[in-house]
């Protein structure tokens, strides 16, 4: 039942014949799991809380960094270094105290995926890497939960609703992750902040439609959006039984930019200790020239895109530490180095990159 205050708060929803009191009560009684509290997670959580979703579960282990502020507009400069999910919870609770917000400050992984998804009526994918997308898709299939997914790169975005009423899934249109050669290079990935807002609010709209049972969902359809000319295109696809017969979670360690290996990531304090203890430690900056002009911590400079062809110019050292702005390109640099150099050097990536300094 809605309270008197809720009748006033959601008046513009209730006036819609497609939603009404019954639809608003459905929103109030629903639980939405949002995986990723970043560019997509910000707008989708904000609009769902405002719409009257009863319970939002936010899953994200990341901290706010200065580079997030260009597109993740729920955060401010004062939030840098704080857990993203906790900051969003505070904002949503202030905006709508009727919405319960639960935060899970963990990485979404095989160990917690099924348990978290089981709690939700609808799952929203706000992640930015292939490992998470396939894991979320497969876990939703196992738990029979609908998935509202979006992704953005540059001026382009795409949106779909997967596994609705046992319908087509993410794997039905993207059966397997791309190869390392097909995936975009970490240092080439950029995004227009406004496009993130567009796709996030569209995700929220699909969630509202799904819960209230109104309209036509993007199930079996992939909506492609180009911000360059504001064109919209819809691709239809069907369920493929060969890729939807999933009963257990598999191996999802195939993301090239966003899935770090904890064995090779080291903190800035460990970097300082290694540089102080031995002259056999080499520091390599794999950012672009303009980034290095802003700030750097020394070492040799070789942009990631040039690393493979210039790798022989690196002097031999016992320890090689790559660093970049966020830690993603430096992790990719390790893969490049180890695929070319066959030596006994220990190779590391500065965890969190320059953003943690």
Tell me which residues are annotated as active site. Answer: 186, 324
Taking the C-alpha atoms of residue 124 and residue 51, their distance in angstroms, rounded to an integer, is: 15
DSSP conformation letters of 272-288: HHHHHH-S-EEEEE-S-
> What token pair was written down for 138?
């497969």
DSSP conformation letters of 134-157: HHHHHHHHHHT--EEEEEEEBTEE
Residue 264: alpha-carbon gap to chain centroid: 22
Taking the C-alpha atoms of residue 131 and residue 179, their distance in angstroms, rounded to an integer, is: 12
> What token pair was written down for 256?
């090239």
Q: Is 315 exposed, middle or buried (0-12, 13-18, 19+ CB in 10 A)?
A: exposed
Taking the C-alpha atoms of residue 322 and residue 151, their distance in angstroms, rounded to an integer, is: 28
Taking the C-alpha atoms of residue 345 and residue 319, their distance in angstroms, rounded to an integer, is: 6
Q: How many residues does the chain have?
A: 357
Taking the C-alpha atoms of residue 142 and residue 136, their distance in angstroms, rounded to an integer, is: 10
Taking the C-alpha atoms of residue 11 and residue 5, their distance in angstroms, rounded to an integer, is: 10
Residue 232's SS3 state is strand
Taking the C-alpha atoms of residue 194 and residue 70, their distance in angstroms, rounded to an integer, is: 9
Strands 100-104 and 156-162: unpaired
């Amino acid at each position: 039942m809605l309270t008197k205050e809720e009748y006033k708060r959601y008046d513009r929803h209730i006036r819609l014949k497609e939603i009404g009191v019954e639809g608003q009560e459905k929103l109030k009684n629903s639980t939405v799991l949002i995986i990723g509290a970043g560019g997509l997670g910000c707008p989708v959580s904000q609009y769902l809380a405002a719409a009257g979703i009863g319970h939002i579960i936010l899953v994200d282990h990341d901290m706010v960094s200065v580079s997030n502020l260009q597109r993740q507009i729920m955060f401010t400069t004062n939030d840098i270094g704080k857990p993203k999910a906790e900051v969003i919870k505070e904002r949503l609770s202030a905006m709508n105290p009727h919405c319960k917000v639960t935060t899970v400050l963990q990485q979404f992984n095989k160990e917690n995926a099924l348990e978290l998804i089981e709690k939700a009526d609808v799952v929203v994918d706000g992640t930015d890497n292939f490992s998470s997308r396939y894991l979320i898709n497969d876990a939703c299939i196992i738990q029979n939960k609908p998935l509202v997914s979006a992704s953005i790169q540059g001026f382009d975005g795409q949106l779909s609703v997967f596994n609705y009423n046992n319908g087509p899934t993410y794997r039905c249109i993207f059966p397997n992750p791309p190869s390392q050669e097909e995936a975009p290079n970490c240092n080439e990935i950029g995004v227009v902040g406004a496009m993130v807002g567009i796709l996030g609010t569209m995700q929220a709209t699909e969630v509202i439609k799904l819960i209230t049972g109104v309209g036509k969902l993007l199930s079996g359809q992939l909506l492609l959006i180009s911000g360059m000319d504001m064109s919209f295109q819809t691709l239809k696809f069907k369920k493929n039984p060969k890729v939807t017969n999933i009963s257990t979670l598999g191996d999802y360690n195939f993301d090239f930019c966003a899935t770090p290996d904890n064995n090779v990531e080291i903190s800035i304090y460990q970097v300082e200790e290694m540089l102080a203890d031995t002259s056999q430690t080499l520091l390599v900056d794999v950012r672009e020239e303009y980034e290095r002009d802003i700030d750097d911590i020394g070492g040799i400079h070789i942009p990631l895109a040039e690393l493979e062809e210039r790798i022989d110019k690196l002097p031999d050292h016992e320890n090689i530490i790559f660093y970049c702005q966020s830690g993603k390109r430096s992790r990719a640099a390790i893969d490049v180095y180890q695929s070319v150099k066959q030596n006994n050097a220990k190779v590391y990536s500065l965890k969190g990159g320059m953003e943690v300094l």
